[in-house]
Structure 1
Amino acid sequence: MQGAAWALPVIAAAVATPLAAASVACTAGLSTTTASYTRLSATSAVFTWVDVFGDGKDLTLTLSAVPNGANNMTINQTNNLRLDSTTQGGEAQPSVHLALDTADLRNIGGGQRVTFSFALGGVTVTVADLAYTIKDIDGFQALDGLGGAERVYVSEGTGTYNTAWIRGQGASANAWRPFTGSPNPEVAATSAAGNVQVTAPPLSAFDLTFVANNSGRSLGDRPPQNIWVGPFTFTALNPVCAA
């Protein structure tokens, strides 16, 4: 009788664990097209997916922008980090607008660095299969001889693009940029010619840096520089299932 009494709690515990694990989802395929978006300022914003795994925890993708490099370019306070659904890069999909103002024409690569960070219930979380589009990389040819004004690089990921318009590897020393032989300085909003399709390995955060060189223009010509990023798609991974 004593042996039977001690055995009952052991059996109950063994059954309870898989039932609890089965009550929540382990993965979720998500897109920023289905998230809510809050722009807090020109340098801060957040995407939110509510209760993605059925455990009451929200998943967030937080954007934080800071000036990068030299001060020939400044962050545009009106448009930066706005979610824009107008046609850009050949499609009308909600994408984050990154906007720079030209302070002067020095060829010194100032701009902004945006950090994208994933969290579940406020705790850093890893996602897989991340993919997104950087749209409308163009601009008048700069005097450094390396290509057009707009330059973009990322801390994680690789990109594919139309080589008639774009060159580079998406690294700080070899940014994605308009090709010196591109058909035109500017890409039409209805064209995907200036786009880069990015895919990344599993990660919890990454940086995207957008800089510009305007020295190929005339002294009084100081246009803003703009790109659009998104939509983002990825597979969210529930850390409970990996434990």
Structure 2
Amino acid sequence: MKEQEAVQKRGLTRRTVVIGGAWSVPVIAAAVATPLTAASVACTAALSTSTAVYSRLSGTSSLFTWVDVFGDGKDLTLTLSAVPNGASNMTINQTNNLRLDSATVGGEAQPSVHLALDTADLRNLGGGQRVTFSFALDGVATTVSDLGYTIKDIDGVQALDGLGGAERVYVSEGTGTYNSDWIRGQGTGTNAWRPFTSSPNPEVAPTSAAGNVRVTASGVSAFDLTFVANNSGRALGERPPQNIWIGPLTFTALNPVCTV
């Protein structure tokens, strides 16, 4: 009898072990299926360049930084790199270019990146600069969504090409909305945003939003904004600088560790 009870106890112990093992399998599988990092950090962040740390490294390079944006110790950056574009009739103003300016321009006093060009001569060649905006998370290129920003103060004396005022802007990503009494174009290399040929006057007051273009894009990791000028409508001895402002930029950052 005692021997039978011992066998039954041993059998019960083995079954208990088997049952315990069977229950443990789903628990382990569930832990593997859900990334531990995603459970403890944010998956999205609504950001603006107005709240970032800005570093102007030179007249052609600058950087926005958002520290520990998702709570996992990784910083998100937006790098701006400017290079000459097109002919040499316009040059980059190294003193003012890529400065962050909070003065009233485009009808608002919001921190915006100043893009500045100097006139070398009055040829109708469309020289200027191309600025590349690149997003990165912890040094690795990353895609953001719902990007929006304003290009401010597009104006200038009417050029001899008959297409509009001096300042012309186009982008590699996004679409724009604007006041059609002042601005024309589609924001492309062949049909840039520019002052309308019959705009009320050649210059937009800083308190006015008439020369603004509001740009939106659904999802980008990088884009180019090209700012050129055609001063051929000016008097021979008049070679003014040309200036626009970009910002603030707003967007939604996406944490790549989070799965849908």
TM-score, scaled to structure 1: 0.96
Q: Distance in 1 between matches of 2:135 and 2:22?
A: 45
- Deviation of 1:242 (Å): 3.2
1:167 corresponds to which residue? 184
Name the SS of the counterpart of 1:22 in structure 2.
Answer: helix
Residue type of the alignment partner of 1:44 = S
Name the SS of the counterpart of 1:101 in structure 2.
Answer: strand
Residue type of the alignment partner of 1:217 = R
2:206 paired with 1:189: yes
Equivalent residue runs for 1:20-169 within 5 Å: 20-169=37-186
1:14 corresponds to which residue? 30
Residue type of the alignment partner of 1:72 = N
- Deviation of 1:12 (Å): 3.5
Residue type of the alignment partner of 2:30 = A
- Do the aligned partners of 2:37 and 2:257 also contact (CA within 8 Å) in 1? no
Q: What is the percent sequence identity of the aligned residues?
A: 80
Q: Distance in 2 between matches of 1:233 and 1:120?
A: 16
Structure 2: stretches of 5+ with no match in the other structure:
1-13
Instruction: Kindly provide the CA deviation profile for residues 160-203 of structure 1, in whole angstroms up to 9, marking residues without a partner as x.
Output: 00111000000000000000000000001110000001101201
1:224 corresponds to which residue? 241
- Deviation of 1:5 (Å): 4.4
- Deviation of 1:20 (Å): 3.7
- Deviation of 1:10 (Å): 5.6
- Do the aligned partners of 1:156 and 1:201 also contact (CA within 8 Å) in 2? no
Residue type of the alignment partner of 2:94 = Q
Residue type of the alignment partner of 2:27 = I
- Deviation of 1:21 (Å): 1.9
Q: Distance in 2 between matches of 1:190 and 1:21?
A: 45
- Do the aligned partners of 2:147 and 2:216 also contact (CA within 8 Å) in 1? yes
Q: Distance in 2 between matches of 1:39 and 1:127?
A: 22
Number of matched pairs: 243
- Deviation of 1:11 (Å): 1.9
Give the counterpart of 1:214 among 231, 236, 241: 231
Q: CA RMSD in A?
A: 1.4
TM-score, scaled to structure 2: 0.90
Instruction: Kindly provide the CA deviation profile for residues 58-86 of structure 1, in whole angstroms up to 9, marking residues without a partner as x.
Output: 00000000000000000001000000000
Q: Distance in 2 between matches of 1:240 and 1:181?
A: 52
- Do the aligned partners of 1:145 and 1:180 also contact (CA within 8 Å) in 2? yes
- Deviation of 1:15 (Å): 3.2
- Deviation of 1:22 (Å): 1.5
1:199 corresponds to which residue? 216
- Larger helix proportion of the pair: 2
Residue type of the alignment partner of 1:208 = L
